[in-house]
Every structure is written in C-alpha cells, then in structure tokens.
Amino acid sequence: MQWHDRAIILGVRRHGETSVIAEVMTRERGRYLGMVRSGRSRSMQPVLQPGNEVEITWRARLDEHLGEFRIEPLTLRAARLMETATGVYGVQAMGALLRLLPERDPHPHLFEALEVILDNLHNPADAGELFVRFELAVLNDLGFGLDLTECAATGARSDLAYVSPKSGRAVSRTAGAPWADKMLLLPPFLNSEENRAADIDSLNAAFRLTAFFLHRHVYEPRGVEAAAAREGFVHAALKALKTVAAQDGLSV
C-alpha cells in the first residue's frame, strides 16, 4: 500500500531510540499517523515541527497498519510561528481541534483553511477572526454546524444580532429582544450582511460563541476538556488586537 500527499505537521512523539510517530493533516486523506525513521535526527527535527508543510509518501503492507512516512519539506513556517504568541498557541489549538475528527477521514477544505490561517497567525487583525471561522468549520464537519445566515423566527437576513443557544441559529435583533439575556451575541463580522472586520468586543463574543457550542456538543459528551492552548490563543489574540487598536488610536 502506498500513496503521496501534501500534509501539515500537527505533532510528533518518540518511538524507540531514533524514530518518531508523526501526526499530520493531509490534503486528501485527513489526519494520519505514521512512523518516521530517524525522525529525531538533526536534519529531520527542524522539518517535523508543527505548522510545517511537507510532501509525504506513506507505505504499509496493509491499509489498516500504522505505516511509514517518507517526508520532504515544502514550506517551513514553524520558526515564524514561534515568533508570536498567536502563532505558538494557534498551531497547537488548531491541532487539538483536528483531533476531534475521526482519523483518516478526508476534510480537504479544512486542510486549505489550515494553510491560510497558519500563514496569517502573525497578523493580530486576522488571526482571531480566522481561528473562529476554523472552529465553526470543525463544528460543521462534526455535524453541529451553526446557521448564521437568517433569523430562525422570521427568516430575515438583516439586523441579525443573536444566536439561539438551543438551535444554534441566528435571531434578529427585534425577534430576540424579549429573550436577549438568554441569547448568545452574534458578532457582526460573522454576519455576511455586515461585511465588517472583527474588533475586540466582537472577537470576544465570537470566542464565547464557539466555546459554548464546542463544549455542549463535543467536549461535554466526550468527557474531555478544551485544549489549554485555546485559552492561550484567545488571550494572545485579544491582547494583540488591543495593542493594534491602541497604536491606531495614537496615530490619528
């Protein structure tokens, strides 16, 4: 059995004295594990860092076996990711999200989204917003997607202000007003009608929104906790965006 694919390194663990088990997100075959011989060598360690993009050849006698990876570097972005807190925590948090999906289950759109986000985690104006959209995409692929396109009560597509915690559907400001204290806020940047970039308040609301549904539908039923890296990323993204906003204010 053999195949070739592009992949992004999610993590590694030791295997014997010189080898490692690498966990990767492939473009066409989803999340995969494989052994890398001499993976702890001086030449391979820089390649097998989370966030790096590689070309993989997988070989095994049978399809259900762990198999062996042969890896060639394509884009080594790990060093740049380590330069910012959003990069360090972001790559770990997205890896944890991808581990919620079944192994070897194809999700090519998530691979493409992961590529884009990894290339923008250094930018505080984009990092938080892209991460939230990635969480929403993972929820959707797990079967718990949110419908943020129209009001659940009226069908209206404008002035959407809330999300129902029961249905995960958007609710307009007028329809949701009587139950506003029980609703989750819908950040304007997640509303296609608004076409606005995320600010500190809306990004904070977005993090609370995705955290609520991930906890309800995924973490609580599985008896697990959210990855600690997510909290680190949320803090870093909000802090970075606050710093940018302050600098912009001083420059006016």
Confidence of residue 251 (pLDDT cuts 50, 70, 90): very low
**What are the tokens at 159?**
């002035």
Instruction: Assign residue 113 a region (left: φ > 0; alpha: ψ between -120 and 50; beta: otherwise).
Output: alpha
Please tell me the predicted confidence (pLDDT) of residue 237: 96
Confidence of residue 125 (pLDDT cuts 50, 70, 90): confident
How far is Cα 235 from Cα 230, in angstroms, rounded to an integer? 9
Q: What are the structural domains of the chain?
A: 2-76 (2.40.50.140), 83-148+186-249 (no CATH)
Instruction: Assign residue 104 a region (left: φ > 0; alpha: ψ between -120 and 50; beta: otherwise).
Output: left
| Angle between helical axes of 124-141 and 85-98 (0-180°, round to 10) | 10
Please tell me the predicted confidence (pLDDT) of residue 246: 83
Dump pLDDT digits (tens) for 161-220: 999 999 999 999 999 999 999 999 999 999 877 677 889 999 999 999 999 999 999 999
Q: Please check whether residue 53 is in contact with residue 77, taking contact to mean a CB–CB distance below 8 angstroms.
A: yes
Asked whether the predicted pLDDT for residue 37 surpasses 70, the reply is yes
pTM: 0.94
**What are the tokens at 192?**
């296609």
Residue with tokens 């249905």: 167
Report helix, strand or coil for 194. coil
* Rg (the chain; Cα; Å): 20
Please tell me the predicted confidence (pLDDT) of residue 124: 81
Mean pLDDT of the chain: 94
CA 49-50-56 angle, to 5 degrees, is: 75
**What are the tokens at 84?**
């910012």
Please tell me the predicted confidence (pLDDT) of residue 8: 98
Please tell me the predicted confidence (pLDDT) of residue 244: 83
Please tell me the predicted confidence (pLDDT) of residue 252: 39
